[in-house]
């Protein structure tokens, strides 16, 4: 009986030990995700930078619309633009709509945990960014939403 009890306790402790170890990732296998998805170098130097807080407009929605209009105008000339959000919280009430003609536009913040875009649609279920393409175009494009490191 003692042997069975000893065997049972040994198996139980071993099982508990291996389950605990299963939840611990060794330091050599860990990945630093603090900058996941961030581009340190945009694909091309920007020709224009539109700093959102310096744009004209009564609120963040109007300032963003003016920045996006200016970036679209630059894009039509083949120029790259950054719509830059400095450190802070920006409350927006409209969807940011991009389509297949919006090219060479980068949305960039000051960094992780530094710039926050807060979308409030009054309780309605909406997308924050709505990015659509032209179904007749046989092209692939890229969308860059970046943050400084």
Q: pLDDT tens-digit profile of 3-32?
A: 777 777 777 777 766 666 556 677 787 777
Looking at the domain assignment, is residue 93 inside a domain?
yes
Looking at the domain assignment, is residue 43 inside a domain?
no
Looking at the domain assignment, is residue 18 inside a domain?
no
Look up residue 2 and give its DSSP letter.
H
CA-CA distance, 5 to 104, in Å (whole number)?
A: 70
Residues 95/127, Cβ–Cβ less than 8 Å? yes
Q: pLDDT tens-digit profile of 54-73?
A: 999 999 999 999 999 999 99
Q: Which domain holds residue 121?
A: 48-134+142-147
**pTM surpassing 0.85?**
no
For the CA atoms of 23, 26, 29, 30, what is the dihedral angle to 10 degrees?
Answer: 70
Looking at the domain assignment, is residue 82 inside a domain?
yes
Looking at the domain assignment, is residue 8 inside a domain?
no
């Amino acid at each position: 009986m003692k042997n069975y009890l000893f065997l049972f306790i040994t198996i139980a402790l071993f099982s508990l030990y291996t389950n605990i170890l299963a939840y611990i990732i060794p330091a050599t296998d860990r990945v630093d995700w603090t900058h996941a998805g961030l581009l340190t170098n945009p694909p091309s130097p920007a020709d224009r930078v539109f700093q959102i807080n310096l744009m004209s407009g009564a609120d963040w929605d109007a300032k963003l619309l003016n920045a996006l209009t200016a970036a679209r105008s630059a894009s039509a000339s083949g120029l790259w633009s950054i719509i830059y959000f400095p450190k802070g919280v920006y409350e927006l009430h409209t969807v940011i709509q991009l389509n297949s003609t919006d090219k060479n536009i980068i949305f960039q913040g000051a960094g992780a945990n530094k710039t926050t875009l807060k979308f409030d649609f009054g309780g309605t279920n909406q997308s924050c960014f709505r990015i659509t393409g032209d179904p007749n175009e046989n092209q692939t494009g890229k969308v860059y939403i970046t943050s400084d490191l």
